[in-house]
């Protein structure tokens, strides 16, 4: 008896951090996934064979244990009575900013559901993965696990009475480059820094939030019209806002500027910031290759992938 499940990696195109405070965000699944396999064992064990940014898995080990406990509790599974071995693999690099933790939570929940014949719906998987995400992020927005579960390009708004998420339809998929700073980011710390800024500089935070809300509606319109030049301009603006929040880093800014110098339509950090990954909008194949080469030449890891194809 075996169980297999997968979760999508993701990028946030607009409004990470602002999304925690009820401002809409836009996120997209990418063409890379984490796969979980569950098999019978005489004791519970989790074997993590995912490719990684060096040090990521070791640094997240305690958070992963906490997350696993939360998933098992949410699924009402007792590993002492029914021990299993969970093996994590796939082509999504375990790194900061691309939804690695959410993808693993979704993959694990789906694999356990199949193994124990629970027949859980996507909505139930999403709820379980949200509980798992608490182990990594404290108070997650819910956006990562939603994209990891359903795929696609998603408009997401956090609401106390229930999160809103809608698919955004694209005319066709488009290419992006993901540049990895190589720095493992602490998302909990980034979220805390933003919270402190909100309390300390309320007027500035409120202004940025209003600007971010105006921007994301314009970005949705540009995506639906498939005006990728405008999408790129808005990505640049969103990165500037995130810098003002204090969640960028010198490595992220370097990769953003390098991408723009090599012709990217737009570029910004993605995810919690303070390290992790950035994304560059590179719709044409030769442009994607050029930007990827420029980043690799500087010694950084890249992922050439698509949005709208999963």
Residues 6+ away with beta carbon under 8 Å from 25: 12, 14, 15, 16, 18, 19, 141, 143, 155, 156, 157, 216
Could you tell me the two tokens for 136?
Answer: 């990594």
Query: DSSP 3-state assignment of 248?
Result: coil
How far is the C-alpha of 110 from the C-alpha of 19, rounded, in Å? 26
What are the start-end ranges of the H helices in 56-121? 56-59, 61-74, 100-115
Contact, 133 vs 105, CB < 8 A? yes
**CA-based max dimension of the chain:** 58
Q: How many CA atoms lie within 13 A of 307 on its CB side?
A: 31
CB 106 within 8 A of CB 125: yes
Given CA atoms 210, 213, 214, 216 in this order, what sign does their dihedral have? positive
- The yes-or-no answer on residue 144 being catalytic is yes
| Whole-number CA gyration radius for the chain | 19
Closest-CA residue to 78 (of 38, 128, 116, 46): 116
Report which of 53, 78, 47, 26 is spatially closest to residue 251, judged by C-alpha positions.
53
Residue 29, beta-bridge partner list: 10
121 secondary structure, DSSP code: -
Query: Of these residues, 144, 186, 227, 286, which one is catalytic?
Result: 144
Q: Which ranges of 226-284 does DSSP label H, i.e. alpha helix? A: 228-245, 250-261
Q: Other CB atoms closer than 10 Å to residue 5's CB: what's the count?
A: 23
Enzyme catalytic residues: 144
């Amino acid at each position: 008896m075996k169980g297999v499940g997968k979760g999508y990696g993701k990028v946030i195109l607009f409004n990470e951090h602002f999304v925690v405070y009820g401002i809409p965000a836009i996120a997209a699944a990418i063409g890379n996934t984490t796969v979980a396999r569950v098999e019978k064992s005489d004791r519970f064990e989790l074997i993590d064979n995912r490719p990684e940014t060096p040090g990521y898995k070791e640094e997240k080990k305690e958070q992963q244990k906490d997350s696993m406990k939360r998933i098992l509790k949410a699924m009402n599974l007792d590993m002492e009575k029914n021990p299993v071995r969970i093996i994590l693999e796939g082509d999504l690099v375990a790194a900061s900013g691309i939804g690695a933790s959410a993808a693993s939570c979704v993959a694990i929940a789906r694999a356990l559901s199949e193994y124990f014949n629970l027949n859980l719906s996507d909505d139930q998987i999403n709820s379980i993965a949200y509980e798992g995400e608490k182990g990594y992020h404290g108070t997650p927005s819910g956006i990562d696990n939603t994209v990891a579960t359903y795929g696609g390009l998603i408009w997401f708004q956090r609401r106390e009475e229930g999160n809103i998420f809608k698919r955004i339809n694209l005319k066709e998929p488009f290419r992006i480059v993901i540049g990895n700073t190589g720095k493992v980011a602490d998302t909990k710390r980034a979220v805390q820094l933003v919270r402190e800024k909100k309390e300390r500089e309320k007027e500035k935070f409120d202004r940025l939030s209003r600007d971010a809300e105006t921007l994301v509606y314009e970005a949705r319109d540009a995506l639906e019209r498939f005006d990728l030049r405008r999408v790129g301009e808005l990505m640049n603006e969103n990165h500037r806002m995130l810098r003002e929040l204090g969640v960028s880093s010198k490595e992220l800014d370097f990769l953003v500027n390098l991408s723009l110098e090599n012709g990217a339509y737009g570029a910004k950090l993605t995810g919690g910031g303070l390290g992790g990954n950035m994304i560059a909008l590179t719709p044409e194949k030769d442009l994607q290759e050029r930007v990827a080469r420029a980043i690799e030449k500087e010694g950084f890891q890249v992922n050439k992938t698509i949005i709208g194809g999963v």
